[in-house]
Amino acid sequence: MRSLLFSVLASFPLLVAASPAATATLRDAQGKVVGTATLAPADGGVRIAVRVTGVPPGPHGFHVHATGKCEGPEFKSAGGHFNPGAREHGLENPKGAHAGDMPNLTAGADGTGEGEFLARGASLQPGSGSLFPEGGTAVVLHAAPDDMKSDPAGNAGARIACGVITR
């Protein structure tokens, strides 16, 4: 019995480490679930793994936005990009990037896509760069690809899906 209890307790940290620290369910303008994002701590920031389905084929801008609200149909309630360092937009901008700037997410001809990105400088803990400030944060999928350099938002077009980041 004692050996069994030790085995169960010894495996508990592995179970905890394997579960995501935060998630977001992406919904389109009609409220239909079109994707999920799982977030976990990583060296230098937060790892975001995202999967989408039922979205238009092609590349899409994907960002963390500064407000945890996803009111359709335009999702403007999510605010601008998450930018605690007050930098300019774009992974290719020498004065950037926002902590919420990610590479484009590409959906195939069948409308599905997945990617894993690092939100550099973001954190799941309280303090600077936290994805859990008062008012929260959200992930947003855009209609067009991000050009990776235009400030403030990369010309990524309309917001087509949004999900509030939650623990």
DSSP codes of every residue in 22-42: EEEEEEETTS-EEEEEEEEEE
Catalytic residues: 63, 65, 81, 89, 98, 101, 142, 159
Q: Which residues of 104-113 are buried (b: 16+ CB within 10 A; e: fewer)?
A: bbebeeeeeb
CA angle 167/60/159 to nearest 5° reads 65
